[in-house]
A and B are shown apart, each in its own frame.
Chain A
Amino acid sequence: MSTIQIASLSKTFANGTRALDNLSLNVRSGEMVALIGASGSGKSTLIRHIAGLVEADTSHHSSIEVEDRIVQSGGRIAKDIRNIRRDIGVVFQQFNLVGRLSVLTNVLTGRLGQMPLMAGALGNFSLDDQRNAMKALERVGIASTARQRASTLSGGQQQRAAIARALVQGAKLLLADEPIASLDPASARRVMESLVSINREDGITIIVSLHQVEYARRFCQRTIAMQSGRIVFDGPSVALTNERLTEIYGSASEELVLPDASDLNGLTAVAA
């Protein structure tokens, strides 16, 4: 059974850039997929389309389905998109937390989609919700920061808070858009480990866009490589060797490989 089904998706920006070019893709339930590609290859655009945050070009017979429900078709976002979004957690490169709210409140906003308008507006989160939020924070290892303002956290901690928000949301699919691009190597590793753990233990399907292929090889079974809005590689991550990358991207492949890969030698090969 496919969690995500994408058919002939195209997106042209107002300035004429073709960000997605007739792209089709299937992801099975429970997979952890890496999305690789240089800046501007269309990774973020693809993720934002799956989350129903951006509409595709109208001129194509495109469709995106998540959990057998239509997110958008023919460039029109579904009317009941809010119901579908509840099942899709999104983690962003810039974390997208509300800096002045506490970490706990930020995590609790994951419940808003399931709450009546007034209860949500007044912030009447049930005791169960609050316990679940604390459990999620414990899982990502930052429970002690619950009452701090989100802006006081380090980048890695903020990203883990964002993952906790997706957990509390009860998402079946987690889209992570460059979650480690703004982090130092140690924080990046912990964020990737948190993602692997929720993929393994909760069976949440994960699509994570990455800048460096080493992380894909270490943490994800399957890798999809993109270039100019098209998929140029789709297969087991281990098959995407540096030689293969050079074959696909030419000299541009340097951007996708850590200059000093020994940084990652300390990592356990989780995905192997």
Chain B
Amino acid sequence: MTITLHETTIPPVPSRERWGKYIFWIVLAILLAWSFGPSEIYKATGLVTYGSNMGKYASGFLEPNFHDWKYYFEEMLVTVQTALWGTFLAAVFGMPISLLCSNNIAPIWVVQPVRRLMDAARSINELVWAVFFVVAVGLGPFAGVMAIFVNTLGVFGKLYSEAVEATDPRPVEGIRATGASKIHEILYGVVPQVMPLWISYTLYRFEANVRGATILGIVGAGGIGQVLFENVRGFYYAETAALMLMMIATVAIVDIISQQLRRIMV
């Protein structure tokens, strides 16, 4: 009796998969080369050549000037308050709207137009919205609130609805089978499932909006941005440094608080 030795063969990587990888790297290289000139990457050498300038600028930051801290603090507080209201309004309106953006809840002829509307709200930067709202409701933080609200609504419409579409349909069917209405199905079957994600997204976005709100003052939509802009333009290094340190501290505090909130609520 002969024993046939059987060699183990390793199946080759499918050629489509292999070529897909090559094409990805080739396309990326072409895009980077194409963008090299227009984005002035060749100036990177200047980082070294003008290093001394940057050093001078940076040394100015070593001695922050906090003499106006009360004023800075007030403006920083307004910035946070602006972000808080903008995010809150976006969350309140975003929850029902995100259901209209979800293919497993709403019919396609509702989902598509609402999604495109959310795309529009999101793709226009909050700074641009702020310019519009300054014209519409006048200078001040309320224009900032509206700008953050509209931009964040677009973000929540998308993020919240992605959470809704990822829900497990079985608990919803369990509620449906008891004879409950569609609204009850959503409130008892869908919402408890998406709540942890919705809360996380909202808190994360609040942090991002505090950051975003710090520049809205540049176009007159309130907050610390105005002060920062004036100081940067006037080359007041020490004051600019103080302002930036306050921003860093604020974002860190917001981050710590939101992390605690997430732990309690999720």
B233 interface hit (Cβ, 8 Å): no
Cα separation A85 to B173 with both chains bound (whole Å): 12
Q: Is the CB of A92 within 8 A of B173?
A: yes
Q: Is the CB of A99 within 8 A of B171?
A: yes
Tally A-B pairs: CB < 8 A. 87
Which of A90, A98, A114, A121 is the one whose CB lies under 8 Å from B177?
A90
- Among listed A32-40, A105-113, A126-134, A197-205, interface-contacting one: A105-113
- Among listed B70-78, B86-94, B184-192, interface-contacting one: B184-192
Q: Which residues of A contact B (CB under 8 A)?
A: 51, 53, 82-90, 92, 94-101, 105, 109-110, 112-114, 117, 120-121, 162, 165-166, 169
Apart from the given pairs A85-B179, A92-B174, 5 other A-B contacts in the complex at a CB distance below 8 Å? A90-B174, A100-B193, A109-B180, A117-B181, A121-B187
Q: How far is the CB of A138 from chain B (nearest CB, A)?
A: 20
Which B residues between 159 and 210 are near A, CB-CB below 8 angstroms? Answer: 170-171, 173-181, 183-184, 187-189, 192-193, 195-196
Which of B170, B181, B188, B196 is the one whose CB lies under 8 Å from A101?
B188
Residues of chain B with a CB closer than 8 A to A83's CB: 179
Q: Is the CB of B184 within 8 A of A51?
A: no
Residues of chain B with a CB closer than 8 A to A166's CB: 178
Cα separation A121 to B192 with both chains bound (whole Å): 13
List 22 A-B pairs, Cβ < 8 Å: A53-B173, A82-B181, A83-B179, A84-B179, A88-B179, A89-B177, A90-B177, A97-B174, A98-B175, A98-B193, A105-B188, A109-B175, A109-B178, A112-B178, A112-B180, A112-B188, A113-B178, A113-B179, A120-B183, A120-B184, A120-B187, A165-B178
Cα separation A162 to B177 with both chains bound (whole Å): 11
Cα separation A177 to B136 with both chains bound (whole Å): 59
Cα separation A92 to B189 with both chains bound (whole Å): 15
Q: Is the CB of B177 within 8 A of A97?
A: no
Cα separation A89 to B174 with both chains bound (whole Å): 9
Interface residues on B, range: 20 to 34
Cα separation A145 to B189 with both chains bound (whole Å): 20
Q: Is the CB of B176 within 8 A of A53?
A: yes
Q: Is the CB of A96 within 8 A of B171?
A: yes
Q: Is the CB of A82 within 8 A of B177?
A: no
Answer whether A169 and B193 are a contact pair too, CB < 8 Å, given A121-B183, A121-B184.
no
Answer whether A96 and B174 are a contact pair too, CB < 8 Å, given A117-B183, A120-B180.
yes
Which B residues between 133 and 173 are near A, CB-CB below 8 angstroms? Answer: 170-171, 173
Q: How far is the CB of B185 from chain A (nearest CB, A)?
A: 9
Residues of chain A with a CB closer than 8 A to B177's CB: 51, 53, 85, 88-90, 96
Cα separation A98 to B192 with both chains bound (whole Å): 7
Q: How far is the CB of B178 from chain A (nearest CB, A)?
A: 5
Cα separation A89 to B184 with both chains bound (whole Å): 17
Cα separation A33 to B1 with both chains bound (whole Å): 59
Residues of chain A with a CB closer than 8 A to B180's CB: 82, 109, 112-113, 120
Leading 3 A-B pairs by shortest Cβ distance: A113-B179, A96-B174, A85-B179
Residues of chain B with a CB closer than 8 A to A117's CB: 181, 183-184
Answer whether A94 and B170 are a contact pair too, CB < 8 Å, given A121-B184, A121-B187.
yes
Residues of chain A with a CB closer than 8 A to B178's CB: 85-86, 89, 109-110, 112-113, 165-166, 169
Q: Is the CB of A100 within 8 A of B183?
A: no
Residues of chain B with a CB closer than 8 A to A86's CB: 178-179
Answer whether A82 and B179 are a contact pair too, CB < 8 Å, given A100-B192, A100-B193, A101-B192.
yes
Q: Is the CB of B184 within 8 A of A112?
A: yes
Cα separation A82 to B193 with both chains bound (whole Å): 23
Cα separation A101 to B174 with both chains bound (whole Å): 13
